[in-house]
Amino acid sequence: MESSPHILVVDDDREIRDLLGRFLGKHGYRVTTAPDGREMAKVLADWAIDLIVLDLMLPGEDGLTLCRNLRSSSAVPVIMLTAMGEETDRIIGLEMGADDYLPKPFNPRELLARIKAVLRRADAQPGRRAARTIADGEGETVVAFAGWNFNLDSRELTSPDGVRVELSGGEYELLAAFVSRPQRVLSRDQLLDLARGRDSQPFDRAIDVQVSRLRRKIEADPANPQMIKTVRGGGYVFTPAVETP
């Protein structure tokens, strides 16, 4: 069964955040909310977001600036919300990289229809959802850590000795999640989200087993792991520095 898309709602109006959180949640989406650009950045750093509902008028950096900056590093779809209904604002929003535009006040059902349409278009474009990994763009994405080389496109993992190590689908997704957020504590829920483990129903019960299997393949001493460390009550942290050769 396919995982539920994760929607980020960025709006300084708490009532709108709460309304959309409840409404979209009832329709099967996972929803995280943020009141401004600073909190939006924190959410994007911690979770794999499938679509952003972004208010144009925000304290600090406005939605247009946030959307333009976002487009320099990510292809995550954006639906812009604004109290201004001017045609010029809609055009500017789309030029900044928004995928769709909805003026306030709006009917939540119309927003729901637009979210579904934008997600369908995003899924139809190769590479759009790859934005949750290390980088978007042309060519191969290869990262290095502790002497290892990991090609996220071909899914090839090569040891410091030059030996290719086979990874299962779950191990690949888990390692991709770790290298995308190195040296940060990731909870099991975050790992599920980043690795899209919710696609397979036993994954959330077996996240620790997947970590153990991955440790056996990359740790010198799996019983005393140095790269994937357990954080009591917190989850796991991937300790090596990750670089792009």
Cβ contacts of 178 within 8 Å, gap of 6 or more: 186, 228, 236, 238
Question: To 10 degrees, what angle do helices 63-71 and 87-95 make?
Answer: 20
Amino acid at site 52: I
CA within 13 Å, CB half, 28: 8
Query: Which ranges in the chain are annotated with CATH 3.40.50.2300?
Result: 6-132
Whether the CB-CB separation of 77 and 53 falls below 8 Å is answered with no
CATH class of 142-238: mainly alpha
Between CA 209 and CA 217, with CA 211 as vertex, the angle to 5 degrees is 110
Sign of torsion, CA 128 130 131 135? negative
**Continuous segment of H or E residues that includes residue 25:** helix 14-26
Sole residue written with tokens 């763009």: 137
Between CA 226 and CA 233, with CA 232 as vertex, the angle to 5 degrees is 140
- Which is nearest to 122 in space by CA: 114, 133, 111? 114
CATH class of 6-132: alpha beta
Query: Which ranges in the chain are annotated with CATH 1.10.10.10?
Result: 142-238
Q: What's the DSSP call for residue 122?
A: H
Rounded to 10 degrees, the C-alpha dihedral 67/71/75/80 comes to 20
pLDDT string in tens for the chain (245-residue length): 346 899 999 999 999 999 999 999 999 999 999 999 999 999 998 888 999 999 998 999 999 899 989 988 788 999 999 876 566 666 777 778 888 889 888 999 999 999 999 998 877 554 344 334 443 444 458 999 999 999 988 889 999 999 999 988 888 889 998 998 899 999 888 888 777 644 444 444 568 888 999 999 999 999 999 999 999 888 999 999 999 87
**pTM, entire model:** 0.66
**What string of H, E and C letters represents the secondary structure of 134-203?**
CCCCCCCCEEEECCEEEECCCCEEECCCCCEECCCHHHHHHHHHHHHCCCCEECHHHHHHHCCHHHCCCH
What pLDDT, on a 0 to 100 scale, did the predictor assign at position 173?
85
Dist. CA 185–CA 74, nearest whole Å: 22
